[in-house]
Chain A
Amino acid sequence: MLAFQILIDGFAISALYALGATGFTLIFGVSGVLNLSHGAIMVLAAVAAWAAASVFHVNTYAGALIGVGVALIAAIVTYFAVVQPIQKSTRIPNEEKEIFVLTGTLLWGIMIQELIAYFFTNNAKTVLPIVEGVVAILGVRTPRNEIFTAVVCCLVIGLLWLLVNRTRTGKAVLAASMNPRGVTLLGLELTNIYVVVWAIYGILAGIAGVLLGMFLGVSSYSVGPLTASAFSIVVLGGLGSVSGSLIAAFVVGYLETFTAYLISPAYRTIPALLLLVIVMYIRPQGLLGRR
């Protein structure tokens, strides 16, 4: 009984972690950007979906779509307002650009967080689930919304795989991640590819944010922990490796659920962080890292 419970609860949270981390790692893989405003964009999506439904009274589906749309816009704005100016700047030495992008996105994330807190307070908000009610799976009372979350996460990750491996745009993205110079020599505009990647990222982060809002709820306080959790999952899986991130997401998700059930909910995140430290010692490039 307890084993099934851990299996089911762990799966939903892991799938959500996986979706959140996928976009994060995709951007790093393609453009070398570690986007530290990740958590803020996820929270923004959830709060927008909440506000659309609770303040402006649109229906649940439209609210969820608005949430994803807001994240998409936020991601593109992040690229054009924060990342691109730093990358194109001639006054910042090339070797310092990475650190500038890190700082820039971090500050951008804090700005979004403070704005959310200012307009919507720092109390948690929850998005009304698209499907309500519970079903018994193997004797475990499971909210339908939890199943919905897991299914949507798996579907979206599947679609992403198809997009990257089976479409022309996806192949260009893949090529840019391997050799940006080669891509430009083939006559493709690198900026266009980056915009596509940021748009994909925005949609992924938006869906993850809205689902998180339905499943657990978010507040402006969630910004830091969400960025940190995506960051540690991606580092554990290997920076830039999408499949590594997927595996790491499930390792972290199940380890946390295990700890919460078998040891104490108070120590939930500790074993996963210990694992991260151990992996850093033994295999600094992460589970499936290329470098």
Chain B
Amino acid sequence: MTKTSRSPLSRSLSRLLGATALGLLATASGQALAADPIKIGVIAEAQAIAGASIPQAAQMAADEINAKGGVDGRKIEIVTYDNHSSSADSVRAFQRAVNEDKVHMVIASYISEVVLALEPWASRLKTPFITPGAASNEISKSVHNDYEKNKYTFHGYLTSAALALSVCDAAKELLAEQKNMKTAVIMSEDAAWTKPLDIGYEECLPKAGLKVLDHIRFSPDTTDFTPIFNKIEGSKPDVIITGISHVGVQPTVQWKNQQVPIPMLGIASQATNETFGKDTNDASNGVLYQGVSGPGVPVTPKSIPFADGFKAKFGNYPSYAGYTAYDEVYFIADAVKRAGTTDADKLVDALEKTDWEGTIGRVQFYGKDDPFTHSIKYGKGLITGLMLQWQDGKQVSVWPKEVAKGTLKFPSFIKVTSN
């Protein structure tokens, strides 16, 4: 092989090309730095209806923000992980999100047990983290008890204590005042989120004018509710106050098939899903459930456009955690904008100052000195929750009266009386 010597011209030409390439590379990386996306990890229960709405709603919010140019030129990128409703899978997803996918913030899960398992990881990996749907009081209590360590966790949904208050406020007006009801039995599944809920119920129901006759807690894997309903009927209450999330379809169908003559009102997460009517073959008619928003309910001017847009895109209305997840992406973007950075500690500071009108009301967080630090504030002018009822296969808001679209309507087997 002979070595051919290159002409001076070609040599300088290649040098020139090389320099240009380098220059191009430099500008490209410079631009990439400026437009570095804001990465949000979304860990959710993709197979559960309540959880499936979480990544969908988050993506929808991100697409909307990106369509308007993003946050200071930075796009929002959603990275999703299916946790199969498992705490262990969630922890692995969290580690992967932070260590490998380099997310700046995590939105995760509607299950309290999962969120409580992730909370220490948010602290260890110093990554801001918010739940769109878990309720346990312990989530924000831990932030209060050890602020410096746990300040990375935010509770983007009502605490069980606030949920109990919301149910009691609705029960007072709808049942005690309007229907003259006087007694109740609490029926709740045995889970982390219902412990504080039940304490809340026991405390606020008597104040709402409903005497608590009995309190039944059952295992979340119960399939036959006949003995439970029979036991409740034995104590002759005017209403059953529910605290159910892992179960929902089965007790509702059995309530109808057995024609249990007592209305049910309370927290029933599965009833917040539009598919609940179909899953129960319309046994859901008459069920009263607490929600933070609902189809066709103008809680804020943003509620209906979001719900309708979601339905147009995914074929069904969002679950309760869909509304909150959508809002969360928006106020995270807002916080990044105000902080001017995705640095974890500065982002936490900015999130604490959140004042955002979302789809469920006005979102603000309790401060360091409040008992439920970093949980969203409950109250008039902020978030009060709603009471909705399944009527003829549709979800109709019945409380508070500012947003009510109908009045209470029960199937014929229900006796609306005061015993």
Contact = CB atoms under 8 A, between A and B. Distances in A.
Contacts of B249: 123-126, 217, 219
Contact of B253 (A121, A126, A219): A126
A268 B222 contact: yes
Contacts of B221: 221, 225
B48 A128 contact: no
Nearest to A219: B249
A260 B227 CA distance: 6
Contacts of B228: 260, 265
Nearest to B276: A123
B150 to A, nearest CB: 31
B257 A123 contact: no
A124 B248 contact: yes
Contact of A121 (B47, B222, B231, B281): B47
A5 B254 CA distance: 16
A134 B259 contact: yes
A125 B253 CA distance: 10
A243 interface: no
Contacts of A128: 281
Interface in B30-87: 47-49, 52, 85
A220 B283 CA distance: 20
A281 to B, nearest CB: 27
Nearest to B275: A123
Contacts of A53: 281
Given A121-B48, A222-B223, A145 B250 contact: no
A216 B227 contact: no
A61 interface: no
Nearest to B228: A265
Contacts of B405: none
Interface residues of B, number: 37
Nearest to A218: B223
Contacts of B273: 123
B48 A126 contact: no
B217 interface: yes
Contacts of A13: 224
B207 to A, nearest CB: 28
A118 interface: yes
Contact of B279 (A117, A124, A260, A261): A124
A257 B227 contact: yes
A126 B224 contact: no
Interface in B224-242: 224-228, 230-231
Interface string B245-258: 00111100110011
A123 B53 CA distance: 14
A121 B257 CA distance: 24
Interface string A115-151: 0011001111111110011100000010101100000
Contacts of B219: 265-266, 268
A146 B275 CA distance: 26
A16 to B, nearest CB: 10
A196 to B, nearest CB: 32
A9 B258 CA distance: 11
A265 B247 CA distance: 14
A54 interface: yes
A289 to B, nearest CB: 28
A141 B229 CA distance: 12
A100 B49 CA distance: 35
A145 B257 contact: yes
B2 to A, nearest CB: 61
A63 B386 CA distance: 37
Interface in B101-134: none
Nearest to A122: B47
A141 B47 contact: no
Interface in A98-128: 117-118, 121-128
A217 B250 contact: yes
B415 interface: no
A265 B225 CA distance: 8
Nearest to A126: B253
Contacts of A122: 47-48, 85
A216 B279 contact: no
Interface string A257-269: 1001100011010
Contacts of B250: 124, 126, 216-217
Nearest to B413: A134
17 contacts: A9-B224, A54-B281, A121-B47, A121-B49, A123-B248, A124-B248, A124-B250, A125-B279, A126-B250, A134-B258, A217-B253, A222-B223, A260-B226, A260-B227, A265-B225, A268-B219, A268-B224
Interface of A: 5, 9, 13, 53-54, 117-118, 121-129, 132-134, 141, 143, 145-146, 216-217, 219-222, 225, 257, 260-261, 265-266, 268
Given A125-B279, A225-B221, 14 more contacts: A123-B49, A123-B275, A124-B247, A124-B248, A132-B257, A145-B257, A146-B257, A216-B223, A217-B250, A217-B253, A220-B47, A261-B231, A265-B231, A268-B222
